[in-house]
Amino acid sequence: MTYLHLLRKRGYPETQGIYTASIYATMRDRQGRVPEERTLRQSIALLKTSAKLLLGGLLLCAGMAWAQPAASGPRAEALGSANLRAAATIESPIVGEIRAGSNYPVIGRSEFYPWLLLGEPGSLLPKGWVYETLVVLDGSLQRVPLSLAVVNESPPTALPAAEIAEPGASTTPAPTASAWTVSGVVRGEVNIRHGPGIDYPRAGVAAAGDRFEISGYHTQFPWLRIVYPASANGQAWIARDLLEVNGDIFSAAPVSQARFALPPATATPQVVRAVGIGGNAPAPLEPAFAALSEDLWLLLLEAGFDPQTSRFGALYVQDLQTRQAFTFGDDIAFSGTSLSKIAILARLYETLNAPPSLAMATDMLNTMICSENAATNRLLSAVGAGNVWLGAQSVSDFLARQGWERSFLSAPFTTIGTPEPPPFPISAPQTSADQLKAQPDLFNQLTAAEAGALLGAIYNCAYGSSHPLGAGLEGRECRQMLHVMSNNTVDALLKSGVPADTRVAHKHGWIPDTHGNSALFFTPGGDYVIAMLLFQPDWLDFQESLPLFAEVSRRVYNYFNPQQPFFEEREWTIPDVNSCNFFGDALAVDIMQWQWDK
């Protein structure tokens, strides 16, 4: 993270590494999964229940009294909060509310609809009816009797104001309150469906604060029909508990039908596209390479990284033999993290007229392997004639000369203390990429396509006869850059998806909401580049991102090496950054050589 961006956005330093990340991950709910899917919440609730049962067993073993429920049988706990109704229908009055953390005995069930009658924990007197998908069950419903009971109405419990999402920036025009009889404000990012259930196709995604006119309610399912012009029939559905409703929903039209016609099929917009190399027009992808691109696109979607939501990814893959490349998400600007240090290294070698000194060689290794920001800033100072701000601008100028206008570095990296003041006014550059979606660092940005293209150009500089990065970079210098990155000790992300003895020249980078890796692979079946970035607002869990990086890498490796496919799941390792220091290391002496021909 750059120094200036840190002043604008609170975050954790990238060099905290995966150890701190894992600790925070255990304390936070994973964001980005639409609330109606609830798979994760169910898992959390089940873990809570298991923990309570385990604690109970431990107390019994210790000879302590443990109060058992008054009656055996299944119990239910809310996923967040859920309304209780007087009868098994959405039209019946609300008689109460339950919340996560408390479970209740299930004393009855509807014969025809997924409604459960809950009882008071002590007396087992009827407490209210709840829709089954809004709770997590502990136990079987097979012996729960069918019921038509109606619970006496009591005043509903209002949600605390702090739990209601405040309307934020919205892409949905919101008329005045008087324009709509009944409306709903979205509590958080949610799916909009073509019918009242999660089995219906998604019609769109709504963000927290989006406001919709409510045109109807389903009489048996807790879903509300909204006016949605983007749908073919102008209507769509949102789960009731995902909206803060203004007005009486029962004044809207009741809907009781159980089946809904699906919208007419429309052409799927092209998401994956071929990319030209070195400013050339993109070559058509060979059928097998095109199939790989679609496979990887679907893989990210299945993992929950969907560009229609706030959690998404971007990918670039280049075949260094055929010079074919494809990408998706290349129109999104991500925080450059430490991936931008590849450009710093290239710009540094462009300025060198002699072998690096031992101090500079050490800084190169600590920058590219340890991601040490202090060492990085010293390299920036070297390319900026002693000024770190001029060095950052010099890197941006280098990228612009290659035609990569969506990648830039305008400020030094964050370190302890305050850097020297800039010698000129600093502003956040504007590019043609979407600079809002991934909430990127204002002064350090890149795209997956340009990050990957840079590695591809270094490869062609190293082993080709041309100078794709300009005459200032010779083949021996580009080979030395790849030598430095081939010694990266982070055996995770994309590297963990190939056999352990594969040579991989790569740079890693992560901040709390963005994980990235740009890597060049030397394999028996051919050499190739992968650049991949994943984003999730606030916090991206390594337990979700690392396996996905590895699986993407494994599938690309197997495409290039069909005779020797790799199917193992290797353990990944990320060394402790606090012990990463190449001062006095033989590798520093090694890269001081003026010739490097590996």
User: pLDDT tens digit string along 110-123?
Assistant: 877 889 999 998 88
pLDDT at 36 over 70: no
Output DSSP code: residue 261. P
pLDDT at 224 over 90: yes
∠ CA 420-425-428, nearest 5°, is 105
DSSP string, 379-440: HHHHHTTT-HHHHHHHHHHHHHHTT-TT-EE-SPBP-SS-PPPPSS-------SSBSSTT--
∠ CA 177-182-187, nearest 5°, is 85
Strand 190-193, strand 334-335: pairing: unpaired
Question: b/e map of 84-112 (b: 16 or more CB within 10 Å)?
Answer: bbbbbebebbebbbbebeebbbbbbbbee
Token pair in block for residue 37? 């899917």
Q: Is 452 in the same domain as 550?
A: yes
Q: Is 48 in the same domain as 112?
A: yes
Please give the pLDDT value at position 111: 79
In a domain, 389, yes or no: no
Q: Is 248 in the same domain as 279?
A: no
Say which range, 70-79, 426-435, 552-561, 569-578, has the weakest mean pLDDT. Answer: 70-79
**Nearest CA-CA partner of 218 in 263, 185, 250:** 250
> What CATH number should be reported for the domain holding residue 492?
3.40.710.10
Q: State the pLDDT confidence band at 3, using cuts at 50, 70 and 90.
A: low
Q: Is 450 in the same domain as 308?
A: yes
What average pLDDT does range 213-218 have in this prediction? Answer: 95
> What CATH number should be reported for the domain holding residue 134?
2.30.30.40
> What is the rounded CA–CA span in Å between residue 217 and residue 35?
19
Kindly provide the residue ranges of all beta strands, DSSP E only, lying in 101-143, ordered along the sequence.
Answer: 103-109, 115-119, 126-131, 135-138
Last residue of a domain, one of 227, 255, 283: 255
Q: Is 120 in the same domain as 177?
A: no
Please give the pLDDT value at position 56: 38
What DSSP element (H or E) covers 508? strand 503-511
> What is the rounded CA–CA span in Å between residue 191 and residue 81?
19
Residues 6+ apart with CB under 8 A from 248: 182
Q: Is 211 in the same domain as 131?
A: no
Q: Is 251 in the same domain as 303?
A: no
Between the alpha carbon of residue 498 and those of residues 118, 188, 266, 302, 523, the distances in Å are 52, 38, 38, 22, 9
Please give the pLDDT value at position 477: 93
Q: State the pLDDT confidence band at 5, using cuts at 50, 70 and 90.
A: low
In a domain, 174, yes or no: yes
Q: Are 113 and 97 in contact (CB under 8 A)?
A: no
Token pair in block for residue 240? 């009731």
Q: Is 566 in the same domain as 455?
A: yes
Average pLDDT of the residues of the chain: 83
pLDDT at 53 over 90: no
At which residue do the structure tokens 């450059």 appear?
A: 336
pLDDT > 70: what percent of the chain?
Answer: 81
pLDDT tens for residues 358-370?
Answer: 999 999 999 999 9
> What is the rounded CA–CA span in Å between residue 262 and residue 21?
43
Please give the pLDDT value at position 597: 54
In a domain, 233, yes or no: yes
Q: Are 252 and 214 in contact (CB under 8 A)?
A: yes
∠ CA 369-374-380, nearest 5°, is 90
Q: Are 371 and 338 in contact (CB under 8 A)?
A: yes
Last residue of a domain, one of 211, 227, 255: 255
Q: Is 461 in the same domain as 568?
A: yes
Last residue of a domain, one of 106, 138, 170: 138
Main-chain phi, psi angles of 419, to 5 degrees: -70, 170
In a domain, 150, yes or no: no
In a domain, 15, yes or no: no
pLDDT > 90: what percent of the chain?
Answer: 59
Please give the pLDDT value at position 58: 35
pLDDT tens for residues 146-197?
Answer: 888 899 864 444 333 323 333 333 444 444 444 688 999 998 889 999 999 9
> What is the rounded CA–CA span in Å between residue 10 and residue 595?
44
In a domain, 246, yes or no: yes
More confident residue, 295 or 102: 295
In a domain, 415, yes or no: no
Task: Find the domain containing 195 and state its range.
Answer: 161-255
Q: Is 250 in the same domain as 280?
A: no
Total count of domains within the chain: 3
At which residue do the structure tokens 């931008």 appear?
A: 340
pTM of the predicted structure, to 2 decimals: 0.69
Q: Is 482 in the same domain as 585?
A: yes
Q: Is 452 in the same domain as 556?
A: yes
∠ CA 15-20-21, nearest 5°, is 90
Q: Are 151 and 108 in contact (CB under 8 A)?
A: no
More confident residue, 389 or 143: 389
| Dihedral (CA of 535, 541, 542, 547) sign | negative
pLDDT at 2 over 80: no
∠ CA 295-300-302, nearest 5°, is 90
pLDDT tens for residues 390-416?
Answer: 999 999 999 999 999 999 999 999 888
At which residue do the structure tokens 């840079």 appear?
A: 454
pLDDT at 349 over 60: yes
pLDDT tens for residues 512-570?
Answer: 999 999 999 999 999 999 999 999 999 999 999 999 999 999 999 999 999 999 998 88
Please give the pLDDT value at position 466: 82
In a domain, 465, yes or no: yes
